[in-house]
């Protein structure tokens, strides 16, 4: 898949695009972080966690910030820069960041002024973590309904059928109740109904992507081939 196709896939919540990114960029991402953090205590499982977190951040950059890709291959380059920043934060919190890594960590070629503001990024992450916990605490039916609506983008008629509801109006009523429940729990961060809608959508998207990435991690760690998953393998072309 080309970068343009991947961008469209990210915007449209196309799981095929995310699977392609995961399986075709995972090894290269790990190699770059291993080379960059040679003196730090980054374990294999840490790099995998950082990779998944970087993919979630990439989704936000594309969807919220309107990330533009100037050339083919730029998604991987941008993703690795996100990974370096994420690894830096991880190691700093673990007190495992060596002085050499601290000096060489940030290649700012792909970053904007906003990206360079670590405090802003950390504040955003703390807010997202809180909203994710709110979403995770909601009843299972609410989480399923909101995922069907925001991630899979199904119409209310289909949602009603899937969840065994009477009709689309019943699904709409249930969605409204779920939204109100989310707003009540997250009241300290909810500034308006529009903000609540955006917050719920983003929390649903993060939860759905993390679930998908955990599945792909299982496949990768258990040696399930890309062919078996019907995923195009760029490495086979080279």
CA distance 31 to 152: 33
pTM value is 0.81
CA distance 238 to 233: 10
Q: Which residue in this structure is represented by tokens 């599945």?
A: 215
- CATH topology for the 1-116 domain: Rna Polymerase Sigma Factor; Chain: A (1.10.1740)
CA distance 129 to 141: 21
> Which residue intervals of the chain bear CATH 1.10.1740.10?
1-116
Residue pLDDT tens, the chain, 238 long: 899 999 999 999 999 999 999 999 999 999 999 988 877 778 889 999 999 999 999 999 998 877 777 677 789 999 999 999 899 888 887 764 444 444 444 444 344 444 455 666 677 778 888 889 999 999 999 999 999 999 999 999 999 999 999 999 999 999 999 999 888 888 766 666 667 788 889 999 999 999 999 999 998 888 776 655 556 655 555 4
- Phi, psi of 162, rounded to the nearest 5 degrees: -65, -40
């Amino acid at each position: 898949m080309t970068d343009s196709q991947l961008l469209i896939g990210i915007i449209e919540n196309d799981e095929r695009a995310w699977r392609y990114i995961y399986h075709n960029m995972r090894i290269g991402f790990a190699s770059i972080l291993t080379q960059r953090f040679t003196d730090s205590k980054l374990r294999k499982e840490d790099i995998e966690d950082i990779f998944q977190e970087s993919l979630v951040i990439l989704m936000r950059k594309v969807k919220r910030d309107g990330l533009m890709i100037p050339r083919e291959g730029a998604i991987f380059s941008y993703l690795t820069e996100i990974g370096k920043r994420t690894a830096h934060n991880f190691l700093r919190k673990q007190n495992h960041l060596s002085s050499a890594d601290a000096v060489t960590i940030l290649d700012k070629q792909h970053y904007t002024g906003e990206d360079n503001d670590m405090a802003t990024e950390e504040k955003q992450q703390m807010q997202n973590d809180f909203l994710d916990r709110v979403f995770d605490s909601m009843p299972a039916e609410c989480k399923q309904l909101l995922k069907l609506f925001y991630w899979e983008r199904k119409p209310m008629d289909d949602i009603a059928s899937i969840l065994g509801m009477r009709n689309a109006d019943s699904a709409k009523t249930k969605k409204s109740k779920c939204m109100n429940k989310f707003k009540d729990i997250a009241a300290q961060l909810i500034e308006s109904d529009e903000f609540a809608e955006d917050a719920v959508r983003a929390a649903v998207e993060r939860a759905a992507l993390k679930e998908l990435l955990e599945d792909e991690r299982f496949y990768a760690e258990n040696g399930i081939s890309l062919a078996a998953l019907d995923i195009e393998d760029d490495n086979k072309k080279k």
